[in-house]
């Protein structure tokens, strides 16, 4: 018994070292940095709340936070709404032997790099791009519309990616519902709609919550998509963080903004974890 516990520790040692030294320590340093302050060209290591006060008082930061929350919330809602029927059709209307292939096809673009995927959306949405070209040549609009370099562009590119994430988690949830549950509802005289609302939907909510959570976490921390597709007109939180690091060289302020980002994720995690426990069928 004692020997096996020792072996357990020894074998998980490398993973714990990676997590501790290469993840937790740098995160701790980010938190420590956030209480330092840049004075002139150097960093003053006297603990201070100055960065956090600046975040609260300077509208640039509050605005980026609000922008991020709005864009990401919209992304989560639209992605779930688009992904749910998609996952439903794949799980229930498509023969099982085709389901794997269809899902594989759906996640293909998932495997292009962030940078390439965002660049592709820029190609599609640009003023001379495919969408504008199709709209103008079909006579639907006379002048090209700007979608690239706007919030709409960012949301479209986000929804594209996160629809897939949500579709996978919702699909997994739908497949776990035993067929007999839906059959029982139908046998007891429930209409298809009633069966869906009373049986399928509540039982698939864990997949929705997991998908929405992943979408929130990954989207709120993403710098590439807003930077490439959304442009610099309206900055989101990760763009403002990068601006502090690259242009201003203000690492302590960037660290404080990163802590705000981490806190947002923790808050959303606590909320969705609670929901998950409440809704999980027994």
Partner 1 sequence: MRSRWIRGLIPALYLLLIYSFILLPVAVLMLFSFQASALPVPPFNGPSLRWYQELFADDRMISALWHSMIIGVISALIATIIGFLAAYALTRFRPRGSQILRGLIMSPLGVSYLVIGFGLSISANQLALGKSLWMVIVGHVVVNMPLAFAIIMSQIKEEDISYEKAARDLGASEFMVISRVVIPILSPGLLAAFLLSFTLSWDEFIISLFLTRFDVTLPVEIWSALRTGLNPQTNAAGTLVFVISVVVLVSAYAFTRRRKGASR
- Show contacts with partner 1 in window 16-55 (CB under 8 A): 16, 18-19, 22-27, 29-30, 33
Binding mask 108-147 for partner 1 (x = CB under 8 A): xx-xxxxxxx-xxxxxx-x-xxx--x--------------
Buried b (16+ CB within 10 A) or exposed e, 138-175: eeeeeeeeebbbbbbbbbbbbbbbbbbbbbbbbbbbbe
Q: What is the largest CA-CA distance in the chain?
A: 77
Q: Between residue 216 and residue 255, which ones bind partner 1 under the rule CB under 8 A? A: 217, 220-224, 228, 238, 241-242, 245, 251, 254-255
Q: Which is nearer to partner 1, 69 or 102 (CB)?
A: 102
Among 9, 49, 58, 81, binds partner 1 (CB under 8 A): 9
Q: How far is the CB of 206 from partner 1 (least distance, A)?
A: 17
Tell me the chain's radius of gyration from C-alpha atoms. Answer: 23
d(CA 99, CA 92): 9
- Least distance from partner 1 to the Cβ atom of residue 189, Å: 20
**φ, ψ dihedrals at 40, nearest 5°:** 60, -125
Q: Which of residues 82-101 bind partner 1 (CB under 8 A)?
A: 82, 85-86, 89-90, 93
How far apart are the C-alpha atoms of 140 and 127, rounded to whole Å? 15
Structure tokens at 19: 């997590």
**Binding to partner 1, residues 54-83 (CB under 8 A):** 82
How near is the Cβ of 282 to partner 1 at its closest, in Å? 21
Of 55, 160, 200, 225, the one binding partner 1 (CB under 8 A) is 160
H or E element, residue 204: helix 201-220
């Amino acid at each position: 018994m004692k020997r096996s516990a020792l072996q357990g520790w020894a074998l998980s040692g490398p993973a714990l070292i990676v997590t501790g030294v290469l993840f937790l320590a740098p995160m701790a340093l980010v938190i420590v940095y956030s209480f330092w302050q840049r004075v002139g060209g150097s960093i003053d290591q006297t603990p201070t709340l100055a960065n956090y006060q600046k975040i609260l008082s300077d509208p640039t930061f509050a605005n980026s936070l609000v922008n991020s929350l709005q864009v990401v919330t919209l992304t989560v809602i639209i992605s779930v709404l688009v992904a749910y029927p998609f996952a439903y059709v794949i799980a229930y209307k498509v023969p099982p032997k085709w389901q794997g292939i269809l899902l594989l096809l759906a996640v293909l673009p998932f495997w292009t790099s962030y940078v390439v995927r965002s660049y592709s959306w820029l190609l599609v949405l640009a003023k001379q791009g495919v969408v504008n070209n199709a709209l103008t040549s079909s006579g639907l609009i006379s002048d090209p519309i700007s979608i690239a370099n706007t919030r709409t562009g960012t949301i479209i590119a986000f929804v594209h990616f996160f629809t897939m994430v949500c579709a996978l988690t919702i699909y997994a949830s739908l497949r776990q519902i035993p067929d007999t549950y839906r059959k029982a509802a139908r046998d007891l005289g429930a209409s298809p709609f009633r069966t869906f609302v009373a049986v399928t939907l509540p039982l698939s909510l864990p997949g929705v919550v997991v998908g929405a959570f992943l979408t929130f976490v990954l989207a709120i921390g993403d710098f590439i998509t807003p930077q490439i597709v959304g442009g610099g007109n309206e900055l989101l939180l990760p763009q403002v963080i990068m601006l502090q690091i690259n242009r201003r060289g203000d690492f302590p302020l960037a660290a404080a903004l990163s802590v705000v980002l981490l806190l947002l994720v923790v808050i959303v995690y606590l909320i969705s974890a609670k929901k998950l426990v409440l809704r999980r069928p027994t």
